Amino acid sequence: MTTGNCYILKFDSKQEIALETKQLKIFYDEYEAISAADLQIPRFKITALIGASGSGKSTFLRSLNRMNDGIASVQGQIWYRDLDLNSREIDVYAMRRQIGMVFQRPNPFPKSIYENITFALERHGITDKKELDERVETALRQAALWDEVKDKLNKSALALSGGQAQRLCIARAIALKPDILLLDEPASALDPISTAQLEETLINLKQQYTIVIVTHNLPQAARISDYTAHFSQGVVVEFNGTTETFTQPKIALTNEYVSGDFG
């Protein structure tokens, strides 16, 4: 363990970077929820954000695709394809097509399973029936839901179980073929079996997508992620490979958190 307060891994040029924050600060009114986070999100990897409740990891995640607009004030830069997403010129709607998000509680629309997926596609101008069908099937297959719902695509999505509904939400997000998928504690409302299915889905998805996942479940972070960032009181105290973070943490705070000595 080093004597410093923080350890943030920087990638060399061999690893492609999907997203990078520079001096990202997030305020709720006066309260500083995130202070100066510098984080590189590697492409085609799963990056887990862990930390105690209130450490700011969800706030950080939601800022990455500007879902905090109007809720919190976000300062600093979020670099994506040489563009600063946190600037005025960015069309947030077009940007969110590239950076999708799945929430803590499954939130399918009160529409049919099919319409849940085509909703966003149609909004973005895809109206060809054949292409829609294709996209729906591909997305459902990628989300490992196809076999369970292929015969009831026109049934209400509200009839799905929690785990199925969450996989539908993932399918809905990846049907847009985004670059990056942000997941905010996607398994916290699911039972262990559904969680296992979801984790398997995510591991398969990482071949094509960059995934950032907030989780309270440390074993889950250890199981599925390649890199782990530990948030504590609004600061990224450690960011490193998942194995390193969990087995040889460089920062005392992280050691306490991952070994359960916390609080």
Partner 1 sequence: MDKIRASILTPSRSSKLERRGKWLSLLCLGSICIVVIAIFGFITYRGLATFTTDHVSLSKFLTGTDWNPSVSKSGAPLVGALPMIAGSFLITILATALAIPFAIGTALMMTDVTPKTGTRILQPVLELLVGIPSVVYGFVGLTVVVPAMRNIFGGSGFGILSGTFVLFVMVLPTITSMTVDALTSVPKSFRYASLALGATRWQTIYKVVLRSATPGILTAIVFGMARAFGEALAVQMVVGNATLMPYSLVAPASTLTSVLTTGIGNTVMGTAQNDALWSLALILLIMSLTFNLAIHLIANRGSLKR
- Cβ burial of 171 (10 Å; 0-12, 13-18, 19+) is buried
To the nearest whole angstrom, how small is the minimum distance from the Cβ of residue 97 to partner 1? 4
| Closer to partner 1 by Cβ: residue 110 or 260 | 110
Q: How far is the CB of 29 from partner 1 (least distance, A)?
A: 14
Site track for partner 1 across 27-66, x = CB under 8 A: --------------------------------------x-
Binding residue for partner 1, selected from 53, 94, 129, 151, defined by CB under 8 A: 94
Instruction: Count CB atoms within 10 A of the CB of residue 120.
Output: 16
Q: Is 96 in the site for partner 1 (CB under 8 A)?
A: yes
The contact mask relative to partner 1 for 177-216 (x = CB under 8 A, - = no) is ----------------------------------------
- Contact flags string 160-179 toward partner 1, x per CB under 8 A: ---------x--xx--x---
In DSSP notation, 144-210 reads T-HHHHGGGTTSBGGGS-HHHHHHHHHHHHHTT--SEEEEESTTTTS-HHHHHHHHHHHHHHTTT-E
Q: At 8, phi and psi to the nearest 5?
A: -115, 120
| Partners of 26 in beta bridges | 34, 74
Q: Which residue in 67, 66, 22, 68 sits closest to 41, CA to CA?
A: 22
Site for partner 1 in 120-139 (CB under 8 A): 120, 123-124
Cα(63)–Cα(26) distance, integer angstroms: 8
Residues near partner 1, by CB under 8 A: 65, 67, 93-97, 100-103, 105, 107-111, 119-120, 123-124, 156, 158-159, 169, 172-173, 176
